[in-house]
């Protein structure tokens, strides 16, 4: 009975993936320019874009450039694939649980489950604007400036790090959006990134957590298996089987 069920789940996943690919192949080719214009129809790009412009203006206004402006950004960029993996695994894939009679379940986790349920629902591709306000205010601005002050890094270097955070946040949002858009992969690197994320959504949600790289963090942390060796998950579109719970 179990083998038949597993075979049925595998067949259903393959059918879904095949339907998505056929639908994509039948549509007129979408240009990157058209994809970019559509990107700006949603609030998240404007919020992050405004954050980035404000950070750049503030950094230019302060001036006082030195080599220390490159230190923290360089370390962060090197570690970002791992940071992205941790956020995806422990925040976005958070399993709802009750602590002291109170259910602990963030907006980011709830919206990410909705995103998995319907990867083609474009608004769900973006960071929820209500959560994004806090992401920008706290880890985006308050935390780096506060830590910079405590470490004696100085305002110029701290603002350079804020610019880096804003840039990375914008790149993440753009990359994730393009992957879920109708724009077809053209380059080898983008094809690898596109395939990894599609495997995460359609094959097994427990692997391929990288979004902006072609599996960098997954290779390091053991979540980059050969797709042929991985069973298709019955909960890829229903994270943790939450919708099936009584």
Q: Which portions of the chain are predicted below pLDDT 50?
A: 246
Question: Of 57, 81, 67, 21, which Cα lies nearest the Cα of 212?
Answer: 81
CA distances from 38 to 102, 177, 183, 230 (A): 39, 10, 11, 35
Per-residue confidence (pLDDT) for residue 234, from 0 to 100: 93
Per-residue confidence (pLDDT) for residue 24, from 0 to 100: 55
Q: What is the pLDDT of residues 89-109, one digit of tens each?
A: 999 999 999 888 889 999 999
Question: Of 230, 224, 229, which Cα lies nearest the Cα of 195?
Answer: 224
Per-residue confidence (pLDDT) for residue 246, from 0 to 100: 42
Residues 112, 92: Cα–Cα separation, whole Å: 6
Per-residue confidence (pLDDT) for residue 206, from 0 to 100: 96
CB 195 within 8 Å of CB 201: no
Beta-carbon neighbour count of residue 223 at 10 Å? Answer: 19
Domain boundaries along the sequence of the chain: 2-244
Per-residue confidence (pLDDT) for residue 22, from 0 to 100: 66
As given in the structure block, the two tokens for residue 243 are 């919708």
As given in the structure block, the two tokens for residue 173 are 């949002």
């Amino acid at each position: 009975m179990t083998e038949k069920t597993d075979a049925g789940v595998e067949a259903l996943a393959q059918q879904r993936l095949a339907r998505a690919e056929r639908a994509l192949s039948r549509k007129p080719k979408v240009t990157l320019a058209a994809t970019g214009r559509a990107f700006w129809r949603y609030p998240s790009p404007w919020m992050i874009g405004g954050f980035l412009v404000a950070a750049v203006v503030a950094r230019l206004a302060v001036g006082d450039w030195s080599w220390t402006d490159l230190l923290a950004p360089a370390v962060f960029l090197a570690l970002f694939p791992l940071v992205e993996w941790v956020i995806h695994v422990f925040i976005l894939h958070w399993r709802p649980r009750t602590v002291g009679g109170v259910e602990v379940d963030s907006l980011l986790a709830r919206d990410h489950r909705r995103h998995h349920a319907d990867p083609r629902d474009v608004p769900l591709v973006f960071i929820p604007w209500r959560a994004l306000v806090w992401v920008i205010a706290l880890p985006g601005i308050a935390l780096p400036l506060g830590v910079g002050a405590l470490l004696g890094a100085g305002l110029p270097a701290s603002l350079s790090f804020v610019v880096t955070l804003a840039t990375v946040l914008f790149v993440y949002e753009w990359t994730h959006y393009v992957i879920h858009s109708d724009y077809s992969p053209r380059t080898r690197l983008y094809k690898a990134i596109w395939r990894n994320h599609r495997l995460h959504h359609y094959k097994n949600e427990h692997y391929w957590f990288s979004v902006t790289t072609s599996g960098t963090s997954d290779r390091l942390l053991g979540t980059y298996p050969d797709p042929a060796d991985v069973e298709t998950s019955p909960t890829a579109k229903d994270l943790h089987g939450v919708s099936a719970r009584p």
